[in-house]
Structure 1
């Protein structure tokens, strides 16, 4: 039986989707599934698999159907309260590691703004237990997911608080602020149909898609220590605008970095003065 046939109209990789869903139903991984292609499903298994197929045919993301998504070297709980972590964002984490490589083992303070599922914050906290990582999230539902993920995956150097970007954070207190904020304009024709299931607050940011980045640039400058750095993910066509608004906000040494597809996707900026300058 071709398990992927029904998903061809809605999936870029229907075979993978079908195997993941069937493995979820059978409580086995894909390698075990392929090792036993002759296995016959029981009535309850057929019913559960059919239910998942129908949901996927409505473009509900596979990660939500499974209740989990891989990120870096761990699995995160995800549900429609949080954005599904993207492979590109792993590069943002790796850029953070590289940025702080010379200071590894030192008690640095790092903030992850708009933490969502906690993916970035957890990766940073796991990388170096001497780093104190704070995840900020405005959504109470998303924050509950982040707390559960941290309890399963991270240690005592990670904590969360509810808030909008840097509101309420003390001045000049962080060595690094990192964020994968919403950066899409409503009605963007490049938006994948599956994204309709994800929280709009994590995707859309004003008419140009820059509202969140503009707010973060202004607020983070106050919260970074002199010599601190800001790392941001942005849209593939926003490099020029993001660079300009960071420069206007007083950042220096602004650098751009590419994603796996060769698109400008990340920016790193340095703050050399204090919040009063």
Structure 2
């Protein structure tokens, strides 16, 4: 048997001996032992069973192959909530919390919200959690992703969100919403390997939807008007260099168009109001 301290030291050394590696090693071990960091700190000499040691070794090997931590433990924190994730869903990013924060500030009262391309449901479920009087609909082309989204909604005990399997707007039957929000796959096809390495763990369709990365915005903007109420809002996350082009694209049917930058000063999302 090995102790908690021995496993943490070994795991950190195997992964590269950096501060982030030490943090991830603790996350992996707390997940296996079903404990918190305090238990690790208070019990460095605690002996770990062989079964858990073998599981920890497997987790470390998976992380060494650059598999995302969220997939290894099956969970990811987003906007102070915890979501299940699988290989069928994109891992929620911290940068997307800005999209949620912006949308929460844009609307009040009873509203109907569409989360387009919901994935694991992080955006839609978070909006529904913070505004119980909103009615949220999440759509995705992946039935398996929607299973994960529904599980997350059930875990959060949300009664004001539902999910529809749909290729973008196809299955919505003309239903109109007060706000459409989306973090669509906007990465250029040629950039995927550069950003994520040779082994891609996340669904490619959730990251890139075309050669330029802008095709998805052209589709959403060209099809969204029938699904937005007058003065309805569309809010889209995008790449740092896509804001100006997206503003121009929205200009035909939208007004009061604004772009919001993240903490690093990069343009991160753009929203606008449908013209009456």
TM-score (norm 2): 0.91
**Structure 1 residue 177: Cα displacement:** 0.4
Counterpart in the other structure of 1:204: 208
RMSD across aligned positions (CA): 1.9
Residue 75 (1) aligns with residue 79 (2)? no
2-structure distance, mates of 1:79, 1:34: 30
Query: Which runs of structure 2 are paired with 1:123-202 in the superposition (5 Å)?
Result: 123-171=126-174, 173-188=176-191, 191-193=195-197, 196-202=200-206
2-structure distance, mates of 1:207, 1:200: 12
1-structure distance, mates of 2:122, 2:64: 27
1:154 and 1:264, CA in 2 relative to 1: closer, same or farther beyond 3 A? farther
2-structure distance, mates of 1:213, 1:242: 7
- Structure 1 stretches of 4+ moved >3 Å: 192-195
Number of positions where the alignment pairs a residue of Structure 1 with one of Structure 2: 267
2-structure distance, mates of 1:173, 1:153: 26
Counterpart in the other structure of 1:4: 12
1-structure distance, mates of 2:20, 2:197: 14
C-alpha offsets along residues 60-101 of structure 1, whole Å, 9 cap, x if unaligned? 11111111111112111111100010111111111011101x
C-alpha offsets along residues 178-213 of structure 1, whole Å, 9 cap, x if unaligned? 000001012216513398100111000211111212
Conservation of the 8 A alpha-carbon contact between 2:139 and 2:166: yes
Conservation of the 8 A alpha-carbon contact between 1:231 and 1:267: yes
SS in 1 for 2:213: coil
| Correspondent of 2:229 among 225, 228, 231 | 225
Counterpart in the other structure of 1:61: 68
1:232 and 1:154, CA in 2 relative to 1: closer, same or farther beyond 3 A? farther
1-structure distance, mates of 2:199, 2:78: 18
**Structure 1 residue 171: Cα displacement:** 4.0
Q: Which runs of 5+ in 2 are unaligned?
A: 1-5
1-structure distance, mates of 2:199, 2:183: 16
2-structure distance, mates of 1:209, 1:67: 28
1-structure distance, mates of 2:37, 2:73: 13
Q: Please say which of residues 236-245 and 110-119 is displaced more in the overlay.
A: 236-245
SS in 1 for 2:47: coil
Counterpart in the other structure of 2:258: 255
Counterpart in the other structure of 2:40: 33
**Structure 1 residue 172: Cα displacement:** 6.7
Residue 91 (1) aligns with residue 98 (2)? yes
